[in-house]
Copies of this chain bind each other. A is one copy, B any other.
Amino acid sequence: MRTRIAPLAVACAAALLGSVGAVVAQSSEPIQPIVPPQQVNLGLVELGKKLYFDPRLSKSGFISCNSCHNLSMGGTDNIATSIGDKWQRGPINAPTVLNSSLNVAQFWDGRAADLKAQAGGPIANPGEMAFSHTLALGMLESIPAYVREFRQVFNKPKIDIEQVTAAIAEFEKTLVTPNSRFDQWLLGKKDAMTADEQAGYQLFKTSGCVACHNGPAVGGNSFQKMGIVQPYKATSPAEGRSAVTGKEIDRFSFKVPTLRNVELTYPYFHDGAVDTLPQAVDVMGRLQLGKTFTKEENARIVAFLKTLTGDQPSFMLPVLPPSGDTTPRPNPFK
C-alpha cells in the first residue's frame, strides 16, 4: 500500500507547490484575477435576469435596469448622466454593473450596502424609473407566469420587494468579466500582454494609481476624495460620501470606480465629464497624484487599462412573460 500511495503523495506535493507558487506570484501583485462566482442560485438568476430586462418595473413601461446599465455596452449607458422618466437628466454617471458584486458598497456615495439594497433604489427613484415598490409588486402579481416563477424560486405565498431585489442581485452576481488579457498574464500567460502594456502596468504601480485602484476589481473597495492635489471642477452637484455620513471630511469623497472594462465604460468620473481614456489618465495624474504624464507614459497606461477588458456576460436575451388582462398598463405621457 505504501508503494501505491507514494506517487500520489508526490503528485500532491507538486500540486501543492505549484498552487503555493501561483498564490505567491499573485499575492505579490496588488491586483488579483476576477474569479467567477462560486455559489449561484440558478433559479434566482433566471428570474433576476427577466426582472433586470423588464421595463414594466418603471412607471413609463420604457425603462429597465438594462436601459442605463446596458449589458451590450459594458454595463453602462455611455452617457455622461443617465436619462430618467420623462427624459429627466440624472445627477450622476451610471456606474457599470459589471463586477459590481466586488464593490465595498453600491452607488458612488456607497449609500447601499450591497447589490440587493441597491436594486430597489432606481425603481422607486422619481428621477429614474419613477415607480413605487407597491406598484411594481402589483404589476408582478398580475402576471401569472411571474407569480409561478417567484413561487418556484421562493416558495412563498406572495411576492415582496425583498424577493425582487434578491433575484436582481443574484443575476448581477453573475455579471463578472474574467479572462481579460491582464488576468491571463497574472495567471501565467506571459505573452498575453505586449511590452508596452506591461510597461504601462509598471507605471500604473510606480506612479501611485494602484494605491486606490487595486484588488480584483482594480478599484471599488474604498472611498477617496476626488481632487487630492488639485481640486476637481465637477459639472455635477453630487457631494459624495458626506451625503451618507454627514461628515464634512467626506465631502467630495466617492467610491473609487472599478477599472475593469474601463475601455467600455466611458465617459469617466462621477459626472461623466471626460470622454476618453487618455484624458481620464491625464486628469487623474494631475489631480490625484500631482503628476503630469508624458504622452508616451499616458499611452502606455491606457494600453495597460485596455487589457482589463474581460469576457462580457454571455446569455440569451430573456423573453418576458406577457401582461395579463388585469395588469395595469403604463402611460408614459401622464
Binding site for B on A (CB under 8 A): 53-56, 60-62, 67, 70-74, 77-80, 83, 86-87, 89, 263-264, 266-267, 275-278, 312-320, 322-323, 325, 329-333
**Cross-chain contact A264 with B72 (CB below 8 angstroms):** no
- Contact partners of A318 in chain B: CB under 8 A: 72
**Known contacts A60-B79, A315-B316; 18 further A-B pairs (Cβ under 8 A):** A54-B72, A55-B70, A62-B77, A79-B330, A80-B329, A83-B332, A87-B332, A263-B322, A267-B329, A275-B325, A276-B325, A277-B325, A278-B325, A312-B319, A314-B316, A314-B317, A314-B319, A317-B317
Task: Give A103 to B308 CA distance when docked, in angstroms.
Answer: 46
Q: Decide yes or no: A78 and B61 within 8 Å by CB, A316-B314, A317-B317, A322-B266 being known contacts.
A: yes
- Contact partners of A62 in chain B: CB under 8 A: 67, 77, 79, 83
**Cross-chain contact B89 with A61 (CB below 8 angstroms):** no
- Contact partners of A71 in chain B: CB under 8 A: 317
Task: Give A56 to B62 CA distance when docked, in angstroms.
Answer: 18
- 6 sample A-B contacts, Cβ–Cβ < 8 Å, listed by A number: A61-B79, A62-B83, A73-B322, A83-B332, A264-B322, A316-B317
- Contact partners of A329 in chain B: CB under 8 A: 80, 267, 275
Q: Decide yes or no: A72 and B278 within 8 Å by CB, A83-B332, A333-B89 being known contacts.
A: no
Residue of B nearest to A314 (CB): B316
Residue of B nearest to A331 (CB): B80
